[in-house]
Structure 1
Amino acid sequence: MRTDQTVTIRRLDYQVPAYLVDSVELDIALDAERSIVEARLAIRRNPASTAPRTLVLDGEALEFISATLDGQPVQPVFGDNRFTLADVPDSFTLVTVSANNPQANTTLSGLFMSKNGFFTQCEAEGFRRITYFPDRPDVMSRYRVRLSAEKARYPVLLGNGNLLEEGELPNGRHYAVWDDPFLKPSYLFALVAAKLVCEETTLTTGSGKQALLQVWVEDGDLDKSHHAMESLINSIKWDEERFGLELDLDRFMIVAVSDFNMGAMENKGLNIFNTKFVLANPEVATDIDFANVESVVGHEYFHNWTGNRVTCRDWFQLSLKEGLTVFRDQEFSMDMIAAAAATPAVAASGKAVKRIDDVRTLRAAQFPEDAGPMAHPIRPDEYQEINNFYTATVYEKGAEIIRMQQTILGRDGFRRGMDEYFRRHDGQAVTCDDFVAAMEAGNAQLGELADLGQFRRWYSQSGTPIVSAEREWDPAAGRLTLTLSQQTPPSASQPVKLPLHIPVLLGLLGSDGADLPLRLEGETGAAPTERVLHLKEARQSFVFTGLPAGEAMPVPSLLRGFSAPVVLDHDLDTRELAFLMAHDSDAFNRWEAGQQLMLSVIHARLRGDDAALQTSALVEAMHRTLEADLDPGFVEVALALPDEIYIAETLEVVDAPAVARVRDELKRQIASALAPSLRARYTALGVALAATGEYRPDPASAGRRGLRNLCLRYLTEIDGDGIGLARAQYAAATNMTDRLAALTALAHAGAAKMELEDFFKRHENDALVLDKWFTLQSTAARVPDGSDQRFVLHVLGLLKHAAFSLRNPNRARSVILQFCMNNPRHFHADDGSGYELWAEYVLKLDGLNPQIAARLARSLDRWRRHTPERQARMRAALQRVADKPELSNDVREIVGKALAA
């Protein structure tokens, strides 16, 4: 554990590295308790540096054995996790020998052990736990590694790049030598030594080169690797077709490990994955799991260029690789959905559903972050612990900022900018400003449109902008004035927020629901029915002419496709929202209108207002959607109520149990009103799915299952046969999607005792499926088995279950993080028991794995938004954690900022 004094690192203090490392040769003799690492570093002074001639290397949790400089023994000075040598020459070879203890490394950073072998995680600062090194992303080196280990226990030895040599050693050991032909920073180093099996195939790239693809898993999991391999092949082909980027290695490997802090890691040519995002077949994985595997495999492969070939200069530039690569994996998933669709209409609907899922994630995770004590721009100005900045802001908001550049420049313009980015910076460690400059340079022919000077403020300004829309209609002239204004709430670190460049994609609907031509005042000629408005001032008016005179005011469809990550404050009434829900040609905004209508009803009920007319309009609109000939996947998302977390985010003061109660009441009322249609659609979809034969995770089938299971969830909310339908579906299910959906419906209804026992018996030897079993119980609306015990006691029972382990990140997340972060109605119980549990487990996890502890700590960072009684209890829990004498930097930063807010 790190218990040294917290140091704040600031972006403006950046200095180039004093010394560069041209090549790294590692000889790693792997042993569970004492792995020996010999590192031969070819070092030279950086001509751009004016720092003193002192070599400073990072080293953490290492046992120093020896060091030589150009063959002569040297004795470094150690302190504050640093290895220091003064008065070193301009060019020299440093050889260090050190040892580390992988078995004792519960942080899962650096070199650690999982049940079947040795694995690494070096991003962000894990390489310093393997050997002494300038562990920063702007030191890029050529790596060669020789691995040796006991052959019987660890028969597979993997490293970055290409395999050069392998052979036998005395005493039952063996070795392998791997060479990576590309320069890379230390955070992309990886090794694996384990007992694994692989699925492999050979792929021919666009230039005709042959590449070996391998997916390595534990013996017994090979039947779950096919989808990951298929996703990898599709990713490679897509990146060639969409961006002209080809696989550059002779082989590309994915390795699945069950103990991993992150989802996956893009180490050059040797991607290490959490098993959650590799293993999938119909018996153990849901439709969502299949989609997530495809997305994460794509994400890590796309890093091969956006993150590896071009990397970030420093960790403040993290979104340079992560925001860009999230955008790329989102585009990949949408294109895969479209490619699998039977018709263009279904393709458009499927892409919209993916976009809706991404925006729901943004609103649930990033919008609260942007309004809390951990708020930061996508390019932060400072940090105390870099692991705390792998955030929704850097990833999800970062992706939105990339998407806005594509919206402004156009799809072809964005491609030109990407081509220029790689032309300029291949093999370099660069900044977010370098990326934007490449976008501008690649689109110089667009003139003023390619000037992204004001747009750069998105990189340096935190907070979620509020865009307000007002209308003025002149029916006689057929003239509509649309006034947009923007305001970003001030924060302590940024009390003055400047206007941003916000692209607002707009449509206008006439009285018949058709899109109208959008001709701005002064324009002539044909007018498009959809266009981007560039909001750059605090307040701007746009005047549209040539609209149907003498008719009702057109209804604006604003921010189509969620063209900017903002909160939209509009003046649409209930009738207009229902109209958009029924007619908008933009599927995202059709869904969004429904969400706004649902929120208006929920807000009215929370205030105690009479919401009968609004509720009636909502139910009627939902009934039309349910009965319409629409893609089932879209109907599913259109009928789903906003979740409790998002509802809370739209309130000034949060009373989480009250939010849950009102949402439950509305859900039951909708279910009662639509029960005949819900039952009919549930039955019809079951027949349609049965007719298609065996399970397939394609978007069309997944959409049918999703809507059918949503109907089931609604039906289990009311008296009648819903519980019976769920029990029958559970018993008859032939795939995990349907079985888990039925079990979840029963658990939320508090009627799952027998099914929970059966599910555990079926899957007690499959860790990932048991994670689902734990998760659905920790996030249920009621105690799942129907008992009357307090929910926190139920959670404590899960934490004491024989199958629970706090040391495994997936298992810890499945119970304690899921309860604290995704079950607000029970976590925020009136008696404060949820907060006491939170404090206890933040402290327990901090002693094992500070990264996971810090993620749990984020559950209380917005404590001031709750009712006064809850605020007092949350503050006491935060203080209890803050008062621990030896607290990790990871957790100290979170609770310190929360208490200071």
Structure 2
Amino acid sequence: MRPSTPPTIRLVDYQQPAFWIEKVNLKFALHPTATKVTSEITFHANADRGDGPHDLRLDGRDLKLIHASIDGRDLADDEVLCDAEGLSVPADLVPQEGFTWRCTVEINPEGNTALEGLYMSNGMYCTQCEAQGFRKITYYLDRPDVMARFNVKIEGEAPVLLSNGNKINHGSWQDPWPKPAYLFALVAGELEVVEDQFTTRSGRDVVLQIFVRKGDEDKCDYAMDALKRSMRWDEEHYGREYDLDLFMIVAVDDFNMGAMENKGLNIFNSRLVLATPETATDANYKAIEAVIAHEYFHNWTGNRITCRDWFQLCLKEGLTVFRDQKFSGDMRSHSVQRIEDVLTLRARQFPEDAGPLSHPVRPEEYIEINNFYTATVYEKGAEVIGMLKRLVGDETYRAACDLYFERHDGQACTIEDWIRVFEDVSGQDLTQFKLWYQQNGTPVVSVDEDFSQGTYRLTLRQDADASGHRIDKAAQVIPVMTGFLDTDGSEPLPEQCLILDAAEKTFVFEGLTAKPVVSLLRGFSAPVILDHTMDSDQRMFLFKHDSDTFNKWEAGRGIALDLLCDMARGQLVKGANFADALRTIALDGALDPNFRALMLTLPSEDAIAVHMGHLGAVPDPEAIHRARHDLKKTIAKQLASDLPELFAAMRVRGPYSPDADAAGRRALRLAALGLLSLLDDCAAAQDLYWGADNMTEQFAALSILISAGKGADAIDAFYKQWKDEGLVLDKWFAIQAGTTPPEAALDVVRALGEHGDFNWKNPNRFRSLIGGFATAPASFHRADGRGYEFVADWLIKLDALNPQTTARMCGVFGTWKRYDKKRQTLISTQLRRIQKTPTLSKDTGEIIGKLLAG
């Protein structure tokens, strides 16, 4: 029998708790199946709540209550009312001015397969408490606005016993800073430590420690270096200094998320800590750098200042993503970073905005909060911060951030608090700007141009959606960075930020001798869809002459998308002109090699499908796959005489380095190899695979060989070489699932699902195989629907153990209504099959319900 529909939580219903918490003492007696947790919690009345007397209501799930008392008085069984979501004590038993609550519970870490609360990962105890995992550890007010100081005592046989804050002695920890329960952390196990030190700008010495399993000590150097660079960057750019004597990172194999910013004790998915040149790619190194920074930056934007409620999640996540993006740009290349950030936004967030899972950056309601750790909250939330910074200017932005840290340190805040400091510092009314937090969907900016007698009129509109339909939404504030190019590529007017803050607005420019070629939305200055009709000559002109690197890339991408869409619809297209322009850029030694590599990378199959939808066409995944392959081959033929030389010239001599320059050279070298392999029957890729001395090149060559159907020997050799390295084995599963030719992919992943090393209970391994297959459009969307059935089977199986990972994986069905009626029917059949699962979790149930209703 299906459980009843869970309640909907709404922002408008927010109410402060009846009691606040001053202090928490926790004692853990660790045992794999019977850990005892004793909590002593000091409560005091909330003076702002005058509607008492109040029951004591505490959150709790999967807890066995052994004992409870208030102010030393033991509570009888009939005085504590327990249910599936917590417990209540009647008001007449609760001193309303304040009291001390004490209880002991028993929990089963080994049986906690959902990986929320306290659980086991290969013999190691670890926690994940965001968003509502602490209630699986003990009874508590598990909400972010309740902030308290924690003292923790851990008893157990493990040699390493860790928790938040400063270490008092073995197993004893004290956190001097008040924090919500979601930032609590505990780790215990047989771990090795890699240690370093950082001196803050005020002269304090901070001990830095990374804890890993034995044998992984030599894989922490880059993570430690990234941590120190992050700490220095936050001091220099935001004035934020670390505030404890100790900063710890723990690498965990079984983890639903990427990492978690628990105060002073960050817990990381091991794939975002461990790296050597032989086992990690350049992309892995870059991700480690970015996520280390992200979680460290949370120390102030998330920990010292946290969220009043979970509807304010973007307050910490959007701001911190923006900060880590700027850090990565400083460490590497701002132009390349911006392109990569936009690619991520368009691949993950734009489809979310356009589909049934669409929601505002600050949602107004939810059923399961874990389902709102979304691209909209993170990536679009970061774009909103970027627009705000652009509107007020760099100096005002920094001054407003300083005021935010000063005014709200130690508080649980809202988006209104964040916006108010910017209004106070800048003097601007940001009421209209706040609509970015309140309205869902991606605005479409359409363009009209007129030139007459030296006067150029540029009209911008924001009154339609991506399909061209009129929308009934309030006009948002959209900063449109704009450049103007003359016929020789010069710029007769300075770059300007045009503020579109009405449904329609016309901007007038006088004194021009000719109609300019306008370069709109430079740097992708707002997360919008630009509807600007340009012919191929205009796009090619911008591709060759635009001084803005983002718009230069964007023009080339637009040409490629038009060509690919025409090809996918069966039109005979010659891409020689485009290929020739690509050749000029690829060989331009003055350009960043990483940028040149991006230029040589065609839009993804999913991006082509989106573009076809904008053109009013129904995408055919298999036709798109063929079109992309054919255009790559056209480009390869055009660059045939240059590719061997480019491939050789970009070889990086000497020891491997993950720095931006070396990584950029490898990226261009491998982009050239991908094209060259279409001409030399993969000969160069075979040579590189068998001769590579680093994972970046070995893995890229393996991908090329598998995609071409020539990877059998390499696949076997790769497995034999790396079968004892779990993170590399994840790559082995993922590369086969994602790049095997579509006609063979389903058979391959079915067989891999039976492989002895496919531990489907591990989130990384599950995402590698099932997620890798589901994000390969031509394989997943095969016409017979068997790909949908395969993925649905696995989601039903996983949901019984790990609802959080399952619910997130359901997003692979999010764009189902873009396809033809037959595929829609096949997908909806599988969605309904999942929905009818008798024991379906509320996490997955909410997502499936939205997908079907959308």
The verdict on a shared fold, with TM-score over 0.5 as the criterion, is yes
Deviations, residues 755-784 of structure 1 (Å, cap 9, x unaligned): 11111111110000011111110001417x
Q: Quick one: which of 644, 652, 671 aligns to 2:605?
A: 644
Measure the CA separation in 1 of the matches of 2:88 and 2:161: 32
Corresponding residue number in structure 2 for 1:262: 257
Task: Give the secondary-structure state (helix, strand or coil) at the position aligned to 1:886.
Answer: coil
* Contact persistence 1:120–1:191 (CA under 8 A): yes
Deviations, residues 631-658 of structure 1 (Å, cap 9, x unaligned): 2111000111000111112232232112
Moved more, 721-730 or 1-10: 1-10
In structure 1, runs of 5+ residues without a counterpart are 167-175, 338-349, 445-449, 518-528, 784-788
Corresponding residue number in structure 1 for 2:113: 106
Shift in Å at residue 64 of structure 1? 0.7
Corresponding residue number in structure 2 for 1:482: 458
* Contact persistence 1:70–1:94 (CA under 8 A): yes
Corresponding residue number in structure 2 for 1:142: 149
Corresponding residue number in structure 2 for 1:169: none
Measure the CA separation in 2 of the matches of 1:406 and 1:678: 42
Shift in Å at residue 407 of structure 1? 0.8
Corresponding residue number in structure 2 for 1:684: 649
Shift in Å at residue 277 of structure 1? 0.4
Code of the aligned partner of 2:704: A
Deviations, residues 523-570 of structure 1 (Å, cap 9, x unaligned): xxxxxx2121100011111111233x1x4x211111111100001111
* Contact persistence 1:507–1:516 (CA under 8 A): no
Shift in Å at residue 496 of structure 1? 2.6
Measure the CA separation in 1 of the matches of 2:389 and 2:71: 51
Percentage identity across paired residues of the two chains: 47
Corresponding residue number in structure 2 for 1:499: 475
Corresponding residue number in structure 2 for 1:461: 439
Q: Quick one: which of 650, 657, 678 aligns to 1:717?
A: 678
Measure the CA separation in 1 of the matches of 2:724 and 2:435: 51
* Contact persistence 2:444–2:466 (CA under 8 A): no
Task: Give the secondary-structure state (helix, strand or coil) at the position aligned to 1:396.
Answer: helix
Q: Does 2:35 match 1:22?
A: no
Code of the aligned partner of 1:320: L
Q: Quick one: which of 814, 817, 826 aligns to 1:861?
A: 814
Code of the aligned partner of 2:82: F
Measure the CA separation in 2 of the matches of 1:609 and 1:554: 32
Shift in Å at residue 791 of structure 1? 2.2
Q: Does 2:734 match 1:775?
A: yes
Corresponding residue number in structure 2 for 1:363: 346
Alpha-carbon RMSD across the aligned residues, in angstroms, is 1.5
Measure the CA separation in 2 of the matches of 1:530 and 1:495: 30
Shift in Å at residue 470 of structure 1? 1.7
Code of the aligned partner of 1:378: V
Measure the CA separation in 1 of the matches of 2:582 and 2:377: 35
Corresponding residue number in structure 2 for 1:666: 631
Deviations, residues 274-313 of structure 1 (Å, cap 9, x unaligned): 0010001101111111110000000000000000000000
Corresponding residue number in structure 1 for 2:273: 278
Shift in Å at residue 2 of structure 1? 11
Q: Quick one: which of 579, 592, 596 aligns to 2:541?
A: 579
Q: Quick one: which of 738, 743, 746 aligns to 1:792?
A: 746
Shift in Å at residue 794 of structure 1? 1.1
The 5 Å alignment of 1:155-304 reads 155-166=159-170, 176-304=171-299
Code of the aligned partner of 1:530: E
Code of the aligned partner of 1:73: D
Measure the CA separation in 1 of the matches of 2:473 and 2:463: 8
Corresponding residue number in structure 2 for 1:347: none
* Contact persistence 2:18–2:49 (CA under 8 A): yes
Task: Give the secondary-structure state (helix, strand or coil) at the position aligned to 1:124.
Answer: coil
Measure the CA separation in 1 of the matches of 2:640 and 2:735: 25
Distance 1:126 1:883, change over 3 A: same
Deviations, residues 307-359 of structure 1 (Å, cap 9, x unaligned): 0000000000000000000000000111112xxxxxxxxxxxx2111111110
TM-score normalised per structure 2: 0.97
Deviations, residues 164-198 of structure 1 (Å, cap 9, x unaligned): 122xxxxxxxxx11000001000000010011111
Corresponding residue number in structure 1 for 2:73: 72
TM-score normalised per structure 1: 0.92
How many residues are aligned here? 840
Measure the CA separation in 2 of the matches of 1:495 and 1:503: 20
Shift in Å at residue 678 of structure 1? 1.7
Measure the CA separation in 1 of the matches of 2:220 and 2:853: 47
User: Structure 1 runs of 4+ off > 4 angstroms?
Assistant: 1-4
Shift in Å at residue 401 of structure 1? 0.3
Shift in Å at residue 790 of structure 1? 3.8
Task: Give the secondary-structure state (helix, strand or coil) at the position aligned to 2:768.
Answer: helix
* Contact persistence 2:569–2:623 (CA under 8 A): no
The 5 Å alignment of 1:364-383 reads 364-383=347-366
Q: Quick one: which of 135, 139, 163 aligns to 1:132?
A: 139
Corresponding residue number in structure 2 for 1:526: none
Code of the aligned partner of 1:835: Y
Measure the CA separation in 1 of the matches of 2:509 and 2:276: 53
Corresponding residue number in structure 2 for 1:172: none
Shift in Å at residue 91 of structure 1? 0.4
Measure the CA separation in 2 of the matches of 1:712 and 1:41: 62
* Contact persistence 1:489–1:497 (CA under 8 A): no
* Contact persistence 1:463–1:488 (CA under 8 A): no
Shift in Å at residue 257 of structure 1? 0.4
Corresponding residue number in structure 2 for 1:560: 522
* Contact persistence 2:543–2:555 (CA under 8 A): yes
Code of the aligned partner of 1:484: L
Q: Does 2:560 match 1:598?
A: yes
Corresponding residue number in structure 2 for 1:55: 56
* Contact persistence 2:128–2:185 (CA under 8 A): yes
Q: Does 2:782 match 1:819?
A: no
Corresponding residue number in structure 1 for 2:88: 84
* Contact persistence 2:246–2:264 (CA under 8 A): yes
Corresponding residue number in structure 1 for 2:409: 426
Shift in Å at residue 51 of structure 1? 4.8
Corresponding residue number in structure 2 for 1:341: none
Deviations, residues 594-627 of structure 1 (Å, cap 9, x unaligned): 0001111112223344433xx2331121121122
Measure the CA separation in 2 of the matches of 1:3 and 1:577: 55
* Contact persistence 2:800–2:839 (CA under 8 A): no
Measure the CA separation in 2 of the matches of 1:846 and 1:879: 15
Task: Give the secondary-structure state (helix, strand or coil) at the position aligned to 2:450.
Answer: strand
Measure the CA separation in 2 of the matches of 1:382 and 1:715: 51
Shift in Å at residue 744 of structure 1? 0.7
Measure the CA separation in 2 of the matches of 1:426 and 1:515: 46
Measure the CA separation in 2 of the matches of 1:694 and 1:2: 59
Measure the CA separation in 1 of the matches of 2:15 and 2:554: 46
* Contact persistence 1:160–1:178 (CA under 8 A): yes
* Contact persistence 1:671–1:715 (CA under 8 A): yes
* Contact persistence 1:420–1:441 (CA under 8 A): no
* Contact persistence 1:2–1:889 (CA under 8 A): no
Measure the CA separation in 2 of the matches of 1:487 and 1:84: 51
Q: Does 2:677 match 1:701?
A: no
In structure 2, runs of 5+ residues without a counterpart are none
